[in-house]
Amino acid sequence: MLSYTIRRVLTLIPMLLIISFLIFLGMELMPGDAVSYMVSPEQLANMSPEKMQEMREALGLTQPFLVRYFNWLFGLFRGDFGYSLTNGQPIVDILKAKLPATFELSFYALLISTILGNVLGILSAVKRGGKSDNVLTVLGMVGVSIPEFFFGLVMLLIFAINLKWLPIGGRTMPEYTSYWQQFRHVIMPASVLGISMTAGVMRYSRSSMLDAMNKDFLKTARSKGLPKWRIYLLHGFRVALTPVVVLIGFRLPMLIGGSVVIEQIFQWPGIGDAFVAAVRGSNYPLVMMIALLSVTMVLLASLLVDILTALIDPRVRLE
């Protein structure tokens, strides 16, 4: 298992190199170049070709494509992530400012959806055909169908505007002294995001649990005289867990990528918001960096899913 993990981590390196190349290539294929975004249109119209050439040279844009790619790549190794084209801020600083916010929001949302989804899913499966199962099935359907932005706006209207229990947006205020004051801000966006993700987890864990409950070994467990919770949780759910872990695992990249819609509605200063702004403004160094980070996260998450599945189910051999 350890050697498998090490090998998997090592194979990440060539994969990441290829992906970084593809990202760089994608950016290269975008129309226009950096100069046209750094300079306002009026200035651009009045700029002499020599002046533009000068700027290009200053930015290193006249060098061949591969040279620029390797410069960028070695920069990454040295920890030099480049600078934002819109305000010249080092990208490291932008990430340092935005990532914790996104991570905080996504973490709570994942936590809510995982716990709530699994608990309700198991309940639904155990009480299959009963009243609570029917109610949960309808709620799940509604939950899957309602778009998050609508749900978010309704929540804002109720809890922030009418009841005034929770702040309307943002993440923190300068006058805050403890994390708990700041925590009030994350409650609503995390709940909206978490609850909209719950429906999926719930349907998944319900069907997976139903599957496990029909297995012969559950009857064996009952024939041993075990208490119900042991039969359902240790024998049923443990086996039902594998597909659920896969679903949750593939949502982990959200910790870095964030949710654009929720971050916009709740003015959450996260990476999703920054990513959209960067794409709009053709701030390609930042776009590349966020894309690369998200891809890394996806790869790590799939590695984690593989390891977890092997831990849950010994029949999955990691060789």
Partner 1 sequence: MDKDIVLEVKNLSVSFYTDQRKNTAIRDVSFTARRGKTLCVVGESGCGKSVSASAIMRLLPELSRIESGEINYYGRGEPIRMDKLDPDGELIRQIRGGDIAMIFQDPMTALNPVYTIGYQISENLLEHNKGMKKSEALDKSVQLLKAMGIPMPEQRVNEYPHQFSGGMRQRAMIAMAMACNPQLLLADEPTTALDVTVQAQIFELMADLKTNYNAAVILITHDMGVVTELADNVSVMYMGYVVEEGSVDEVLRTPAHPYTKALLSSIPVLGRGRNQDLQPIRGATPDPFHRPPGCQFEPRCDYAAPQCTQAMPEREHVDGEHYVRCFRYKEVLKNE
Binding footprint of partner 1 on the chain (CB under 8 A): 215-217, 219-228, 230, 235, 238-239, 312-315
Give the nearest distance from C-beta 188 to partner 1 in angstroms: 39
Task: Give the integer Cα–Cα distance in Å for 4 and 220.
Answer: 34
Q: Select 191 or 309, whichever has its Cβ closest to partner 1.
A: 309
Least Cβ distance, residue 169 to partner 1 (angstroms)? 45
Q: What's the sign of the alpha-carbon dihedral 231, 232, 233, 235?
A: positive
- Give the nearer residue to partner 1 in terms of CB position, either 96 or 230: 230
| Distance in Å, CB of 305 to partner 1, minimum | 17
276 to 24, 88, 150, 166, 282: CA distances (angstroms): 18, 18, 20, 26, 10
Residue 246 CB, nearest distance to partner 1 (Å)? 16
CA dihedral 103, 106, 107, 109 (to 10 degrees): 160
Separation of alpha carbons 18 and 13, rounded Å: 9
Q: Which CB, 51 or 219, lies closer to partner 1? A: 219
Q: What Rg, from alpha-carbon coordinates, does the chain have?
A: 25
Name which of 3 and 223 has its Cβ closer to partner 1.
223
Q: For the CB of residue 130, give the shortest distance to partner 1 in the complex, in Å.
A: 11
Closer CB to partner 1, residue 240 or residue 265? Answer: 240
Number of Cβ within a 10 Å radius of residue 310:
17
Helix, strand, coil shares, percent, the chain, to 5: 75, 0, 25
